[in-house]
Structure 1
Amino acid sequence: MVQMNRQLVFGFLVAVLPVSGALAKQPNIIVILSDDMGYSDIGCYGGEIETPVLDGLAKNGLRFTRFYNTGRCCPTRASLLTGLYPHQTGLGAMVQDKGLDGYRGDLNNRCVTIAEVLKPAGYTTYMAGKWHVTKHKNPKDDADRFNWPLQRGFDRFYGIINGASSLWDPNSLVRGNQLITIMNDPVYKPEEDYHLTDAISDNAALFIDEHDETKPFFMYVAYTAAHWPMHARERDIATYRGRYDEGYHPVREARLEKMKALGVVEPNARLSPTVGNWDKVENKRWESACMEVYAAMVDQMDQGIGRIVQSLEKKGQLDHTLILFLQDNGGSAEPYGRNEPFVPRAEKPTLKPIPDDVIHYFSSEPKQTRDGWPILKGQIMPGPADTYIGYGRNWANVSNTPHREYKHWMHEGGISTPLIAHWPKGIQATNELRTEPGHLIDLMATCVEISGANYPARYKGQAITPMEGLSLVPVFEGRPLDRDTLYWEHEGKRAVRKGDWKLVAKGRGGTWELYNVADDRSELNNLADVHPERAESMAAMWQAYAERTLVLPSPRKEL
């Protein structure tokens, strides 16, 4: 892995003249997706985590302040890849078949991926990172690979098929179509200890280095950072040592102040209630360490994005590449491993080592490290390979500043994402904000427009569901989109946004709440009783959407 000074990465990003009319050639496109991060985590959206590469992309490009994902990993990935609402792809929930067309746990054959659409237009297609849109992570034969990346339009793939994994020794690790381990991979031999975040970055950079630049390329880079388990290199953790010792609320207050100064929230934005009382935290050193490791994971990802940017510059392709960065959902309140009994670390490995060529688990977690250390949970210091915990609800509330709720929920804390767009040859504006509401479904339409590709009515003999999204190219140019309504549903939690109004429910039979998100994006003042006619009208709109897009029928009784 190449170390670098990220502050210097953007020394070559000089002012460029805007390109008018049609582009001379098709641009490259890179979509970068992070995992389980909140709206305010990266520096250019208010965070104290050091992300100079992403900040540089934003300074030399655009930041969207009202962009949305679907609130959960699998649905987001399905929607991003296809330009459809997730239920239309068969991934309305996660990767389990629930017996209904909207909930099959696999991409269906009525959708196409961006890679499948761009290949006929002359694009070479690459992916590095987390796939997580099929239930077939341990294939018995080639037929089980029907929804793996190479079968869905990608020419080269390195990453994991599963959704969560050790970052030190990932499960379901694949190169091309072949399951591998970190030890028997014939291509990637890092100079220091393997780490999945670095491996994703380095393989993405390798794809660029080896690309034939006479052709355009599309690349999808899907990091697992900063999803649990909290695994990071000690040198990156050291950068944040002690930075969170004052607890949750001071960090949230500082973030909100910075967010207002940056313009990524409205001047009237208010903090949703802080979750967690720092004074009552018994093991403050461990609790602050969880956020230190989380921050280190984000920092490490930013370093890797810097190496991808450097590869583009070496090939003379940076100015002609659209780079989009966004997140799959908000910060995660999942208490993974945090409430387990504390078990101290043994003095030496106590379990039998696992051979280099053996893939030793296919679930979300291992029982041991490859060299025989038992996996530890509870209040063990996170970071090393033998730990497996998340950073918890209280820090997720910090990540989602100033919004309410978390991953899984359709409140703003669950579905709000940064979107950075950097494309010197195609976007005239730099360091500007865009307040037009947008959604993952818009990425397919954007790629189709700038590539000159044709979105098919039929593919491999099958009728294809028409795109739901709109191209963001007008927004790049400062113009609005001809749309004012967006929809969400996940595990009974549901929402619809029409103009400045948002109707949202928590699921499990939860009642509708109504907010004016222009005045109250933190969703603190429920106006459903004040405007019952509006709430009723928007609920009817959501019902029609749900019936049209395979949300209904649902395996959940409350819908």
Structure 2
Amino acid sequence: MLLATVLAASLTPAQAPRPNVVVVLADDMGFSDLGCYGGEIATPNLDALAANGLRFTQFYNTARCCPTRASLLTGLYPHQAGVGHMMADWNRPGYRGDLSPTSRTLAEVLRTAGYRTYMAGKWHVTRHLAATGPKHNWPLQRGFDRFYGMISGGGSFYDPYTLCRDNTLVSPFADPDYKPESYYFTDAITDHATRYLADHAREHADKPFFLYVAYTAAHWPMHAPPDAVAKYRGKYDAGYEPVRAARFEKAAKLGLIDPAQKMSPAPHRWADVKNQPREAACMEVYAAMVERMDRGVGAVVAELRRTGRLDNTLIVYLQDNGGCAEAMGRNTTKGRVNGPRAAAPSLPPIAPGVLPAALVPPQTRDGFPVRQGPDVMPGPADTYVAYGEGWANVSNTPFREYKHWVHEGGISTPFVVHWPAGVAARGTLCRTPGHLIDVAATLYDVAGATVPAGAPPLEGRSLRPAFAGGPVAREALFWEHEGNRAVRVGPWKLVAKHGGAWELYDVAADRVEANDLAAAQPDRVREMAARYAAWAARAQVEPWPVAEGKKKK
């Protein structure tokens, strides 16, 4: 029986035909938010994929939204793809705020291998957002056959900014192709992803497909339908500490973290929070957003099962950065209403066909002012707030720092792989470090695709050996964002905040980065710093801030 199992495990990946591919990317979530990574939020669909697939315990992103997306789409470090920072042009090759024309996207390369290509969700790799402006870096021009989502990086979940169908900006309230009973962007992403799968099965059943599903959950603003939030009412009333402790204990039992390494220090105490009901509500809405996203993943899986494609579809799930400590709309009003919703609208309504004009809208469609400030309870369309540093620290349990920084809390993501026909090591943990630069190399490996001549060579490594429990060889991994920088070589990580000194950690023994060994091992620091400097020069990294004062409009 054991021999038969071993033979089946070794033969199945080799015999599998080229798989379909689904990449799911979530937004602004921490290492411990999913149930299968220690969280209390209900994520049964992702948990099921993990139970029947593979979970990486040391997978990394680039600490920020658009650099991660550029890197994921190209298999390059973000600066090499032209998106070393955000969506502004600093007139430097690595900082154009626009996907590099020499790079090739997953969709472009997989299309040459015979794949149909679809995307639903957040694009965020171009600074060109206008309906009448350049579209050379919009999804259809970068290899996708169909697209529905936002071109920009954020906005209301009830009235998304830069909402686009294929090449045309649309209003969700004047869209003839999609008329739900009530509009919620997470559900719209799911509905279009499943529509593309159904259409593919009907119209292109002889071809494999690549589907990129880029949810904006759980990025601010904290928006979720009342029925989704109701499930979590009261769940976070006891504050940060018990939730963080429970996540730590569960993650340790799952084998994801070493409990002997304890936790990083917490930035806030629940006892010091002035408006505890509002703070608890922020996490209630956040949890509802995550669960709604997970429900969408379940719908995608159900459609794959319905069309008979689940077994030979490679599904990967990951997140674009760690939990977000940004204070968007939490503490200052900036001229906006701080307090409860008015009894009646006070502004003229906006016509259905008018497109939202700003990332943070001044009002809702029906004329209510959008509220921000310390007394605003999150959730409805007329609010626009983030969940804050205290809960971001909980999301990143047990690690240090947040989105923006390249300590472990900023760059650590769950990475779930599900492919029944091609993953032998099912239901297991993979402790091999991986990085989102590896996704392209992996997909091209399993799809039999190659990067065309003239494009930059991939930076990542195929993770396919890890699917069978094997190692993935590499020399080093690198990070830089806003002057925060790091390099990892084996178990050693050299990391620094912008303007700060190098810190050295043995992440095998100290992944929470509590015991800085830089002073004790100066030779290792020098060697790793030199390796980082060589990479930075090669990868188009500039000193931060980049040519300040020369940013192009």
**Do Structure 1 and Structure 2 share a fold, with TM-score over 0.5?**
yes
Please indicate the TM-score interval, normalised by the length of the shorter structure: over 0.9
Partner of 1:50: 42
Question: Cα deviation per residue 1:401-425 (whole Å; 9 max; x = unaligned)?
Answer: 0000000000000000000000001
Q: 1:71 aligns with which of 63, 75, 81?
A: 63
Q: CA deviation at 1:213?
A: 2.0
Equivalent-residue separation in structure 1 for 2:238 and 2:340 (angstroms) = 26
**What secondary structure sits across from 2:191 in the alignment?**
helix
Q: Does the alignment pair 1:519 with 2:514? A: no
Give the corresponding residue for 1:3.
none
Aligned to 1:66, the other structure's residue is in SS state strand
Cα distance in 2 for partners of 1:276, 1:529 equals: 29
Q: Displacement of 1:200 after TM fit? A: 0.4
Which whole-Å CA distance do the structure 1 matches of 2:53 and 2:345 have between them?
A: 49
Structure 1 residue 555: Cα displacement: 4.4
Q: Shift of the alpha carbon at 1:329?
A: 0.1
Runs of 5+ in structure 1 lacking a partner? 1-15, 458-462
User: Which consecutive aligned stretches of 4+ in structure 1 deviate over 6 angstroms post-superposition?
Assistant: none
Does the 8 Å CA contact 1:492/1:556 hold for their aligned counterparts?
no
Q: Which residue of 2 aligns with 1:260?
A: 252
What is the aligned length? 533
Match of 1:400 among 392, 396, 402: 396
Q: 1:343 to 1:429 in 2, by over 3 A?
A: same
CA shift, 1:538, in A, is 0.6
8 A Cα contact 2:83 2:97, kept in partner: yes
What is the CA–CA distance in structure 1 between the aligned matches of 2:146 and 2:159, rounded to whole Å?
A: 21
Secondary structure of the 2:311 match is coil
Superposition deviation, residue 235 in structure 1: 1.1
AA paired with 2:354? Answer: V
Corresponding position: 1:246 with 2:238: yes
Mapping for residues 128-277 of structure 1, pairs under 5 Å: 128-141=120-133, 144-190=134-180, 192-211=181-200, 212-277=204-269
The correspondence for 1:499, drawn from 470, 485, 490, is: 490
Whether 1:552 and 2:542 are equivalent positions in the alignment is: yes
SS, match of residue 302 in structure 1: helix
Q: Distance in 2 between matches of 1:65 and 1:464?
A: 31
Partner of 1:354: 350
Aligned to 2:541, the other structure's residue is in SS state coil
CA, structure 1 residues 372+447, in 2 after alignment: closer, same or farther (shift >3 Å)? same
Task: Tell me the residue number matched to 1:539.
Answer: 529
Whether the 8 Å contact between 1:90 and 1:104 is mirrored in structure 2 is yes
Equivalent AA in structure 1 for residue 185 of structure 2: L
Matched, 1:440 2:430: no
User: Does 1:370 pair with 2:365?
Assistant: yes
Counterpart of 2:474 (choices 465, 483, 504) is: 483
Q: CA deviation at 1:427?
A: 0.7
1:36-47 map, 5 Å: 36-47=28-39
Report deviation, 1:24.
Answer: 4.7
Cα 1:24/1:520, change in 2 over 3 Å:
closer
Contact map agreement 1:201 1:304 (CA 8 A) in 2? yes
Go from structure 1 to structure 2 and tell me whether the alpha carbon gap of 1:178 and 1:315 turns closer, same or farther (over 3 Å shift): same
What SS class does the counterpart of residue 75 from structure 1 fall into?
Answer: helix
Question: How far has the Cα of 1:553 moved from its partner?
Answer: 6.0
Secondary structure, counterpart of 1:20 in structure 2: helix
Match of 2:52 among 60, 63, 67: 60
Percent of residue pairs bearing the same amino acid type: 58
Q: Is the 8 A contact 1:117 1:455 kept in 2?
A: yes
Partner SS for 1:86: coil
Q: Secondary structure at the match of 2:261?
A: coil
Aligned ranges for residues 316-355 of structure 1 at < 5 Å? 316-341=308-333, 342-355=338-351
CA contact (8 A) 1:27 1:451 kept: yes
How far apart, in 2, do the equivalents of 1:28 and 1:209 lie? 14
The 3-state SS of whatever aligns with 1:174 is strand
The answer to whether residue 442 in structure 2 is matched with residue 451 in structure 1 is no
How far has the Cα of 1:343 moved from its partner? Answer: 3.4
2:508 aligned counterpart, secondary structure: coil
Residue 428 of structure 1: how far off its partner (Å): 1.6
**Is residue 297 of structure 2 the alignment partner of residue 305 of structure 1?**
yes
Which of 407, 410, 413 is equivalent to 2:406?
410
User: For 1:115-136, what per-residue CA distance to the aligned partner results, in whole angstroms no more than 9, with x for missing partners?
Assistant: 0001011100000000000001
**Residue in structure 2 matching 1:422, options 395, 407, 418:** 418
Taking the aligned partners of 2:131 and 2:51, their CA distance within structure 1 comes to 44
Unaligned runs of 5+ in 2: 1-6, 549-553
Q: Is the 8 A contact 1:57 1:420 kept in 2?
A: yes
**Over the residues paired in the alignment, what is the CA RMSD in angstroms?**
1.4
Contact 1:100 1:553 in 2 (8 A): no
* Mean CA deviation greater in 73-82 or 332-341: 332-341
